[in-house]
Amino acid sequence: MTDDEVRRQMEFILNQQAQTAVNVQTLSESQTQVEQRVSRMEGAFVGLVNIIGDTQKVTQAKLAELAEAQKRTDAALADTNERLNSFINFVERYLSKRQNGQTQD
């Protein structure tokens, strides 16, 4: 190999090393950006999981409140039905007695 060929080969190798160094630097910068994005996405994901957990707790609490309110409504309705049935029975007895001539006005 001549000196010129050796010099050209050395230049080629140096250029390849320089290009490799640039590529490694570019990849390193890209990796840093990706790590930052992944970190932000992790934070967002954790926040989302926390929001879902909080929403679930609130939903469970509201469902429990709704169930209790429904129990109170059912109890009040049962009481109202009982009282209404008593009133209907009273009116029916009154009307029945009146039709039979037992009640004087």
State pLDDT tens for residues 2-50: 999 999 999 999 999 999 999 999 999 999 999 999 999 999 999 999 9
State pLDDT tens for residues 39-87: 999 999 999 999 999 999 999 999 999 999 999 999 999 999 999 999 9
From residue 23, alpha-carbon distances to 16, 20, 26, 35, 84 in Å are 10, 5, 5, 18, 88
pTM of the model: 0.54
pLDDT at 88 over 80: yes
At which residue do the structure tokens 């429904």 appear? 70
CB 86 within 8 A of CB 78: no
Name the residue with higher pLDDT: 58 or 97: 58
